[in-house]
Structure 1
């Protein structure tokens, strides 16, 4: 189902990279060349820590190059819900981390001259029901009261200033959020890693992870090995069965996207006048935006495990796009693709270190375009702090991974998930 994305089709030229052959030595080996792994390597190399990144396909081939390019504030849970779950102090720290994640991406793109169409135009959370707008208003009050953070409520009568649609009942605007071309950011971040002295091997899937007699990590691929002092697994929803415990603590959920043909500039601008990233409040949400070349990129939750129903899913997503924007009824769909989103049992990101010495970060629940770069920086900081014998403090830090009950990525549970999600879509 992984068809060509609009981001891959319109990406900047990328340099060829070799696959791993023979034995290579470094301080830290990172598995996964998405935003998390590349950011980890980038920040390690900036501190003179020799790093090798192994990627089973190509840079950005997973979720990092396939998402909607929406760099959003916050988390899947509302901040008021996180106050109840984590406490006010931790929730405040988590909000600041979210804001820091966007600022970090902005600074990395500027410092390294990454051409990825980064822009801060904010996001709109569009209310699918009148009751959802009331919930957004309550969240606005909580953000102002508990976090001294301001968002703007848009009533339905004022919505045409944001969206040319009758599908929604208002919304909430956060001006801090940003957007970018995700594949170009991944490619630029990879070049920044290499410019700092790091090495990236593509088409080099890790086959096994062992420890040698000196307690060094040995990661084997088909044609070579990497021997390192530290290991980082940054494969998120594409973890497969590489690490048994991590595999049992993340649920990969498929999300699908379509992109129209290039639209007349006037039409594209009229549909989303302020050029914001948009997502709605349906349980099976839609998310969409204008692309830099005047297409509408429109996404939703695919919830499929096979190819038989892929065509139907894309047709349904196109029908959803036309419901939101009737003017796109005759617009040709030029790109259709899918990607995997990683969820943990708490639907919050995990970061930490296992007893076997593995460093990890994953489970962004749809907010990885923003959070993963920061999590890579935090992974690098954790490794350096350990080397200096320092402690660390992070509300997303988890000391022990607990397998999700009755779940494995190869079990029948995954096959049944699509029926469960269809039911959720029906009642939402």
Structure 2
């Protein structure tokens, strides 16, 4: 599903970057030119390190340039459940990190003059079922009482038209801290900033081998060259490939697809999402959608198909979903259809840490990576700079392969079938 995304089509002229040729030396070599890789480079360059970023394709080619562009707080699961599993203090730090991640994106954007259509007007999570609204209320009460967080409100069905002009949902949770942006414009802007700080970025330069020598140097080999560095960071997420077997077997790539309409009138788009918030609903196979800077409706959902006919059916179903939520769009032309891979971990949380050989990693944002992946880069940079001073609540001490990883495609298919069943028949 590598068709042209709306983000690519509307990002403006893309700067051409060289392919790695010959031998290069640096302090830190970073594999992956998306949110995490560029953020790691950005923060390390500001600390005085010399970095090189290696990207297999082009900057932002993977999830960073294909996602919904929604900057959301939290994780998969309630903070109350994380407090029970990981302890209250760890859960509170996890929550604070997710809040800080959105601030970080906003600050980087403002400080460096990155034009990426950033809108910070909060996000809304519509309740697909009445029972979901009750869960939202419990979560709101927990965050207010235990974390002293009071920027979440709950509305019922009678109030929905103030937020979304649809009869599809039973109410919603509103978080004033959320935001949305043009993800690829942000990535491309951040890449320019990295280079302005002295960092190097090589595109079409796939890392095919990582080797440590007796002098504790790391050599990363590409088809046409190599980089010798003190440390290596791998941040390829769902596009892990075969570079490192441990990382590959610790993440499950899951397909997600999006469509975008033609530009709509200001009156229509304002009618549909009056407060211009980011939206992601409570279905297991969720819909996520928002208004773009040029007044399109960008609408996303789950996707996994083999063959072009099956892919067309998936996109047709997604359009049907969009017009079910918003019948007002039944005559709107869909101009873009695209998809990409989202990285999931076994416990549905991002992982940030080091392998036994010292390789740094971050991955597994589980569909909430637009902000957290940028924060992961900052955490990695701080860990490299001051390894004993970083309090990382998402630190993964050791990675274990996901059972039956080689069968993950079948497993994802079965999981999505079950989730669809739950959406239709569950409480």
* TM-score interval for Structure 1 and Structure 2 normalised by the shorter chain: over 0.9
- Confirm whether residue 164 of structure 1 aligns to residue 157 of structure 2: no
Q: CA deviation at 1:420?
A: 3.2
Partner of 1:146: 146
1:184 partner SS: helix
C-alpha distance in structure 1 between counterparts of 2:239 and 2:392, whole Å = 25
Q: Give the match for residue 404 of structure 2.
A: 406
User: TM-score scaled to structure 1, two decimals?
Assistant: 0.97
Q: CA deviation at 1:416?
A: 4.7
Give the corresponding residue for 2:116. Answer: 116
Q: CA-to-partner distance for each residue in 1:80-134, whole Å, 9 max, x for gaps?
A: 2211221111111111101111111111111110000112110001000111111
Instruction: Describe the superposition over 1:17-59 as per-residue Cα deviations: whole angstroms up to 9, x where unpaired.
Output: 0000000000000000000000000000001100000000111
Q: Residue 85 of structure 1 aligns with which residue?
A: 85
Q: 5 Å matches for 1:43-82? A: 43-82=43-82
Give the CA deviation at 1:210: 1.1
Is 1:184 aligned to 2:185, yes or no? yes
Provide the C-alpha distance between the structure 2 equivalents of 1:179 and 1:313, rounded to a whole number of angstroms: 25
Describe the superposition over 1:146-198 as per-residue Cα deviations: whole angstroms up to 9, x where unpaired.
11112110110000000010000000100001111000000011011101100
Q: Which runs of 4 or more aligned residues in structure 1 lie more than 4 Å from their structure 2 counterparts after TM superposition?
A: 305-308
Alpha-carbon distance between aligned partners in 1 of 2:306 and 2:110, rounded to the nearest angstrom? 39
Contact kept, 8 Å, 1:304 with 1:418, in 2: the verdict is no
* Alpha-carbon distance in 2 for matches of 1:162, 1:413: 38
Which structure 2 residues correspond to residues 236-251 of structure 1 after superposition, within 5 A? Answer: 236-251=237-252
Instruction: Answer yes or no: is the 8 Å Cα contact 1:76–1:366 preserved in 2.
Output: no
Q: Could you say which residue in structure 2 is the equivalent of 1:16?
A: 16
Work out whether residues 252 and 408 of structure 2, in 8 Å CA contact, stay in contact via their aligned partners in 1.
no
Structure 2 counterpart of 1:424: 419
- Counterpart secondary structure, 1:93: helix
Contact 2:254 2:412 in 1 (8 A): no
Asked if structure 2 preserves the Cα contact closer than 8 Å seen for 1:250 and 1:363, the reply is yes
Give the gaps of 5 or more residues in structure 1. none
Following superposition, the deviation at residue 415 of structure 1 comes to 3.5
**Alpha-carbon distance between aligned partners in 2 of 1:70 and 1:352, rounded to the nearest angstrom:** 25
Alignment correspondent of 2:364: 363
Alignment correspondent of 2:221: 220
Q: With the length of structure 2 as denominator, give the TM-score of the two structures.
A: 0.97
Could you tell me how far apart the structure 2 residues matched to 1:12 and 1:103 are?
A: 25
CA gap 1:57/1:218 in 2 versus in 1, 3 angstroms: same
Partner of 1:309: helix, strand, or coil?
A: helix
| Shift, 1:211, TM fit | 1.8
Task: Output the CA distance in 2 between the equivalents of 1:214 and 1:20.
Answer: 24
State the shift of 1:213 in Å: 3.7
Query: Take 2:297 and 2:171, find their aligned partners in 1: how far apart are those partners?
Result: 20
Map of 1:234 onto structure 2: 235
CA contact (8 A) 1:62 1:238 kept: yes
Q: Which residue of the partner structure matches residue 205 of structure 2?
A: 204
Instruction: Give distance in 2, aligned partners of 1:412 and 1:91.
Output: 32
Measured after TM superposition, the shift of residue 414 of structure 1 is 1.2
Cα 1:176–1:156 change in 2 (3 A) is: same
What SS does structure 1 have at the residue aligned with 2:396?
Answer: coil
Q: 1:116 touches 1:180 (CA, 8 Å); kept in 2?
A: yes
Q: Is the 8 A contact 1:305 1:415 kept in 2?
A: no
Q: Secondary structure at the match of 1:191?
A: helix
Which secondary structure state, in structure 2, belongs to the residue aligned with residue 284 of structure 1?
coil
Structure 1: distance between partners of 2:57 and 2:82: 36
Q: Helix, strand or coil: the match of 2:174?
A: strand
User: By how many angstroms is 1:144 displaced?
Assistant: 0.7
Structure 2 alignment gaps of length 5 or more: none
CA contact (8 A) 1:303 1:421 kept: no
Work out whether residues 72 and 178 of structure 2, in 8 Å CA contact, stay in contact via their aligned partners in 1: yes
Residue 396 and residue 11 in structure 1: after superposition, are their counterparts in 2 closer, same or farther (change >3 A)? same
Say whether the 8 Å CA contact 1:29–1:51 is kept in structure 2: yes
Q: Would you say the 8 A contact 1:80–1:142 is kept in 2?
A: yes
- In structure 2, how many angstroms separate the alpha carbons of the residues matched to 1:75 and 1:198? 32
How far has the Cα of 1:419 moved from its partner?
3.7
Tell whether the 8 Å contact from 1:32 to 1:235 is kept in structure 2 after alignment: yes
